DNA sequence: TAATTATTGTCTCAATTTGAGACAATAATA
DNA sequence: TATTATTGTCTCAAATTGAGACAATAATTA
């Protein structure tokens, strides 16, 4: 079949579903701080959550996994859908136009990318240490930012991050949060640091240790000699 | 401006966003049973959740409220978005075609209604007693069904109901569930019946009463004389 | 080599919450 | 007037949580 030039006003030609986008809040943990991935668009300084579109023959969840794999190189990422944002107030075609223009794309007003989008949002938990973030075609960087020192983001992305964190907090006891943010083996103190970073509050050491061991989900391994002048802690992993 | 015949292959002409639908799981409580609203499509016997589409200039949440108002006559319904279903497996254009045909609409293969849809799903809690369900143009009935005696539903609607119930259970302590399913004034037993219907398990009466009163959310009113041969219970309302 | 320091793992005891039932009060009926 | 079914409250035991004590220990320092 001869390749025809697609009509940029018709989303079908793009291969993507119309009016639907996804955004992902990628959490990582490092240096006792909770962080998320943000991308910066070429020549604009605009910061945003990594996101994308859904192929016409692709599962929604798979589209998000695909996007994350491109950004992090990781397969089998822990993913949780938490909310779909659909207010008309998030429709600001000038922003997308600015981004496209800064990348050398001049588009008509009826281009499908300038139409209104509803964003299905996910959060991901990944092991910070085995990721080298990669930007995509439109962005010149993909970098970690401290969750409590976030810069201004485009559209409603600040709201999206807030809701992601709220959901993560609500889920911290139900889902195995620590398992996904830490290396396979970790100390009890590291695990507690993760909990404290997510909840934004200090926890009592002895109670934390008791309840964690009480779940029966942890497996104890050899001790870890850090070289510091104190008793060496055990390493643990999730069963 | 002269009215032009809209191209049915172009969703923009319809006034709705493409590829996006919503479905709502409307919970009501009656006779110690939890129930949901289902619609039946004309001449097909097909049962489905009440749903609809999002206007191009309409907030997603407002679209759902609008749909519910049409079905129940109620404003200010308690609504909670819980998941967005986006698998390709839910794309079955023959079903929509069957429904349209049974209503006398013959449509082309490229009609926007036959395209793939992602469903943003909500659950609603309403006071059963002040609702008279109304069907819409495509459906011939809108009726209550027992949550544990559900008939087969189209597409993935059974999965959607299951996830709605799961979320409702998870939220039962965080959100004021009883408030929205009961009349303004109710007895402690009625409230317990709601909890038991949602959780699907019996609860201990004295413990339930203690914890409910302990929240400080209930206001006690006059007694209610049912005519039965036993002590009359107090009525309560949420503050 | 022996004190010192900074943790870590475990234990204890009090405080709080939850489970399970006892019991008196009471609205209609027999 | 006794009976029945249910309600509101109270009690006591069991389980969980809060708060801290204390010994163990890996390096450092005296």
Q: Directed axis angle between helix B188-199 and helix B157-171, to 10°?
A: 130
- For chain B, where do the domains classified as CATH 1.10.10.10 start and end? 182-238
Nucleotide nearest to A232 in CA–C1' terms: D26
Name which residue leads in pLDDT, B175 or B38.
Answer: B38
Over 80: is that where the pLDDT of B6 sits?
A: no
For tokens 């309403």, what's the residue? B126
Over 80: is that where the pLDDT of B213 sits?
A: yes
pLDDT of residue B24: 98
Q: Which burial class, exposed, middle or buried, applies to A90 when counting CB atoms under 10 A from its CB (0-12, 13-18, 19+)?
A: buried
Splitting chain A (239 residues) into consecutive groups of 10 residues, what average pLDDT does each group show?
A: 66 92 97 93 96 98 97 94 98 96 93 97 94 92 96 98 96 86 96 96 97 95 91 95
CATH 1.10.1240.10 fits B182-238, yes or no: no
Q: What is the rounded CA–CA span in Å between residue B1 and residue B6?
A: 14
The alpha-helical segments, DSSP class H, found in B103-238 are 157-171, 177-181, 188-199, 205-215
Name which residue leads in pLDDT, A168 or B7.
Answer: A168
CB A100 within 8 A of CB A167: no
* Chain A residues closer than 8 Å to B65 by CB: none
Going by their DSSP bridges, the two strands A186-187 and A234-238 should be labelled as: antiparallel
- Phi, psi at A51, each rounded to 5°: -150, -170
CB B36 within 8 A of CB B47: no
Residue count of chain B, please give it: 239
**How many CB atoms neighbour CB B210 within 10 A?**
10
At B4, is the pLDDT very low, low, confident or very high (cuts 50, 70, 90)? low
A20 inside 8 A of chain B by CB: yes
CATH superfamily of A11-171: Nucleoside Triphosphate Pyrophosphohydrolase (3.90.79.10)
* pLDDT tens readout for residues B138-177: 999 999 999 999 999 999 999 999 999 999 999 998 877 8
Check the CA dihedral B146-B175-A197-A122 and report its sign: positive
Q: What is the rounded CA–CA span in Å between residue B49 and residue B24?
A: 6
Q: What is the rounded CA–CA span in Å between residue A184 and residue B83?
A: 30
pLDDT of residue B2: 45
CB A144 within 8 A of CB A128: yes
- For chain B, where do the domains classified as CATH 3.90.79.10 start and end? 14-171
DSSP tag of A112: G
- A164: helix, coil or strand? helix
Could you give the angle at the alpha carbon of A114 between the alpha carbons of A108 and A118, nearest 5°?
Answer: 165
At B1, is the pLDDT very low, low, confident or very high (cuts 50, 70, 90)? very low
Q: Which of B233, B230, B172 is nearest to B200 (CA)?
A: B172
- For chain A, where do the domains classified as CATH 3.90.79.10 start and end? 11-171
pLDDT of residue A5: 63
A9 inside 8 A of chain B by CB: no
pLDDT of residue B100: 95
Which residue's alpha carbon is at the shortest distance from the C1' of D24?
Answer: A231
- A67: helix, coil or strand? helix
Candidates A59, A84, A110, A172: best to mutate against B (most CBs of B within 10 A) is A84
pLDDT of residue A2: 45
CB A16 within 8 A of CB A55: yes
CB A227 within 8 A of CB A206: no
How far away is chain B from the Cα of A68, in angstroms, using its nearest Cα? 17
Q: What is the rounded CA–CA span in Å between residue B11 and residue B115?
A: 10
Overall fold of domain B14-171: Nucleoside Triphosphate Pyrophosphohydrolase (3.90.79)
Q: Which of B41, B22, B23 is nearest to B143 (CA)?
A: B41
Q: Which of A173, A153, A145, A170 is nearest to A30 (CA)?
A: A145
A109 inside 8 A of chain B by CB: no
Q: What is the ipTM score, two decimals?
A: 0.93
CB A30 within 8 A of CB A144: yes
Chain C: nucleotides below 7 Å from protein CB are 4-12, 18-22, 25-29
Check the CA dihedral B93-B94-B99-B100 and report its sign: positive
* Chain B residues closer than 8 Å to A84 by CB: 60, 81, 84, 120
pLDDT of residue B229: 87
Residue count of chain A, please give it: 239
* pLDDT tens readout for residues B90-136: 999 999 999 999 999 999 999 999 999 999 999 999 999 889 999 98
CB A119 within 8 A of CB A89: no
């Amino acid at each position: 079949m001869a390749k025809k030039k697609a009509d940029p006003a018709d989303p079908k030609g793009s291969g993507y579903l119309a009016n639907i986008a996804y955004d992902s809040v990628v959490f990582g943990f490092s240096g006792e701080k909770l962080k998320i991935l943000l991308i910066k668009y070429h020549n604009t300084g605009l910061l945003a959550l990594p996101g994308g579109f859904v192929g016409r023959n692709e599962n929604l969840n798979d589209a998000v996994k695909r996007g994350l794999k491109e950004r992090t190189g990781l397969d089998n990422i822990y993913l949780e859908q938490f909310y779909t944002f659909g207010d008309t107030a998030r429709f600001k075609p000038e922003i997308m136009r600015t981004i496209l223009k800064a990348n050398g794309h001049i588009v008509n007003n009826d281009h499908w990318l300038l139409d209104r989008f509803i964003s299905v949002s996910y959060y991901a938990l990944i092991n910070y240490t085995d990721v080298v973030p990669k930007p995509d075609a439109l962005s010149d960087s993909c970098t970690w930012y401290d969750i409590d020192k976030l810069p201004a983001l485009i559209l409603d992305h600040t709201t999206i991050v807030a809701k992601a964190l709220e959901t993560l907090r609500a889920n911290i006891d139900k889902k195995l949060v620590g398992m996904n943010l830490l290396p396979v083996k970790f100390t009890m103190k590291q695990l507690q640091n993760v909990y404290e970073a997510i909840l934004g509050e200090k926890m009592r050491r002895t109670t934390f240790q008791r309840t964690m061991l009480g779940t029966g989900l942890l497996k104890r391994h050899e001790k870890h000699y850090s070289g510091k002048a104190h008793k060496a802690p055990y390493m643990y992993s999730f069963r």
